Amino acid sequence: MSKPTFVIVGASLTGAKAAEELRAQGFDGRVMLIGAEPDRPYERPPLTKDYLRGETEREKAYVHPGGFYAQQEIELVTGVTVTAIDPGASRVTLDDGRALGYDRLLLATGAEPRRLAVPGAGLDGVHYLRTLADCDRLRDRLGAGGRVVVVGAGWIGSEFAASARQRGLDVTVLDPQPLPNERIFGREIGTFYRDVHAQHGIDLLLGEGIDSFEGNAAVAQVRTTGGRRIECDFAVAGIGVVPRTGLAADAGLAVDNGIVVDAKLQTSAPGVFAAGDVANAWHPFFQRPVRVEHWANALHQGPAAARAMLGQPVSYDHIPYFFSDQYDIGMEYSGYAPHWDEVVFRGDPASGEFLAFWLHEGSVVGGMNVNVWDVNEHVQALIRARKPVEVAALTDPGTPLDWLAGQSAAEADREKSP
Ligand SMILES: Cc1cc2nc3c(=O)[nH]c(=O)nc-3n(C[C@H](O)[C@H](O)[C@H](O)COP(=O)(O)OP(=O)(O)OC[C@H]3O[C@@H](n4cnc5c(N)ncnc54)[C@H](O)[C@@H]3O)c2cc1C
């Protein structure tokens, strides 16, 4: 009998970690990892940080060393796009003319930048930042100096702006929201990041969107919805991403804010799985679907999908986590908090070292540590406990967080035991 074939579509972090896990679990069938980009799998966080600024080599961005895939007998196919999947016939079609049968299929097709649809959006010098190729173009731009307008003060826009400033460019950031990321994290954290950027000399135009890009062949100025004209040498738009669901939708798989998967990461088609930025996965802890567009989710969900493809019991319930580095401000956030009642602090944000907690009905639903390290697991334990915490203890730097997390977890366990 021939050995089974597992096909992974999307050769980025999710796909690469899934392929690695298949071999780590002893799978000795055929593993095909197919990616549209020319590079072998790489990580994207350096693309707004050290690699963008020219401080680290390209090699550091790759998920695995060059020889890894051959060594592991993973057939890495780069520069090739999967154009169709047929779950009924268990086949995928590639744009190089091949059609391949599979026994299990993983869709790790990720997300792509939302595009601006304003006049002038097609001018040269209007950039997006998702791929190494995008980053290489922007790295050269940063090397040349000058003035840049960043559209969108979300994480990508903010990190790009910080790196551009660190390279000495004049940077203007515009965003229709009154504060960076205010909708997701609230006024307090929005104010903190606004002030950080202002202190580093960024010109923040908040409450103003983009009306148009203007220039002859290349962008020369940006016109805001408030009627201002800002001169620039180039512009970068970071206005969010959309999950790449086309293949799944065309094949009739359930799609709703991403490819819909259960806690085993299986799609509506048996034998077809999805993970990473593209997957809207049923979350056993939150009891609802959650789609996460962050590095740690790709890192862990890819391997979880691989185990599920092998028939192992999987119930993916990681608490969403992400990190961001801007100037000398390092931050980690854990949680999933569409609603909260208040944000409380341990430490003073003005000092640049603090923790923030999002509370809903007295329980911690989200936590951010800024320039404070090794607390993340305690923050996550507080979230998992789902127990009201005493705000005085939570905000008191003298009360060890691990102790507080232990108390909450013990209380939650007591309630669960008969
Ligand atoms: C610039 C940048 C900086 C970031 N920084 C951070 C950070 O600091 N912290 C953090 O937590 N997260 C960060 N992220 C988010 C993180 O990188 C993503 O969550 C992660 O890359 C998702 O991985 P993925 O493999 O699921 O999808 P992707 O990385 O989007 O990869 C999907 C891959 O699939 C390929 N593909 C799609 N369709 C097909 C097809 N039909 N055929 C073949 N191949 C296909 C694509 O070409 C792509 O290579 C950042 C993202 C970007 C863009």
pLDDT in tens, 88-112: 999 999 999 999 999 999 999 999 9
Strand partners, 260: 280
H/E element holding 221?
strand 221-224
- The per-residue pLDDT for 192 is 97
Please give the Cα distance from 357 to 397 (Å, whole number).
13
- Output the residue whose Cα is nearest ligand 1's atom 47: 36
pLDDT per position as a tens digit, 251-288: 999 999 999 999 999 999 999 999 999 999 999 999 99
- Is the C-beta atom of 305 inside 6 A of ligand 1? no
The residue with tokens 């040269």 is: 124
Could you give the CA distance from residue 193 to residue 158 in angstroms, rounded to a whole number? Answer: 9
Mutate to test the pocket of ligand 1, among 160, 253, 295, 329 (most ligand atoms within 8 A of CB): 295
Maximum Cα interatomic distance, the chain, rounded to a whole number of Å: 73
Is any ligand 1 atom within 6 A of the Cβ of residue 35?
Answer: yes
Task: Determine what percent of the chain is predicted with pLDDT higher than 90.
Answer: 96
For residues 160 and 52, is the Cβ–Cβ distance under 8 A? Answer: yes
Cα(12) to centroid of ligand 1, in Å?
6
pLDDT (tens digit, 9 = 90+) per residue, 361-391?
A: 999 999 999 999 999 999 999 999 999 999 9
In this prediction, residue 418 has a pLDDT band, given cuts at 50, 70 and 90, of: low
Best mutation site among 37, 52, 80, 109 for ligand 1 pocket (most ligand atoms within 8 Å of CB): 109
Residues 6+ apart with CB under 8 A from 128: 113, 115, 134, 236, 237, 238
Indicate which atom in ligand 1 lies nearest the CA of residue 47: 1
Tell me the residue type at 408: S
**Closest alpha carbon to 252 in 267, 240, 266:** 267
pLDDT digits (tens, 9 = 90+) for 136-174: 999 999 999 999 999 999 999 999 999 999 999 999 999
For ligand 1, atom 4: residue with the closest CA: 45
- Give the residue whose CA is nearest to atom 24 of ligand 1: 110
pLDDT digits (tens, 9 = 90+) for 21-31: 999 999 999 99
Of residues 412 and 122, more confidence is placed in 122
Whole-angstrom distance, CA of residue 333 vs CA of residue 240: 18
CB 53 within 8 A of CB 60: no
Q: 177 near 191, Cβ under 8 Å? A: no
Q: Which residues contact 405 (CB under 8 A, 6 or more apart)?
A: 377, 378, 379, 381, 382, 385
pLDDT tens sequence across 328-365: 999 999 999 999 999 999 999 999 999 999 999 999 99
Distances (CA, A) of 45 to 25, 136, 276: 27, 14, 15
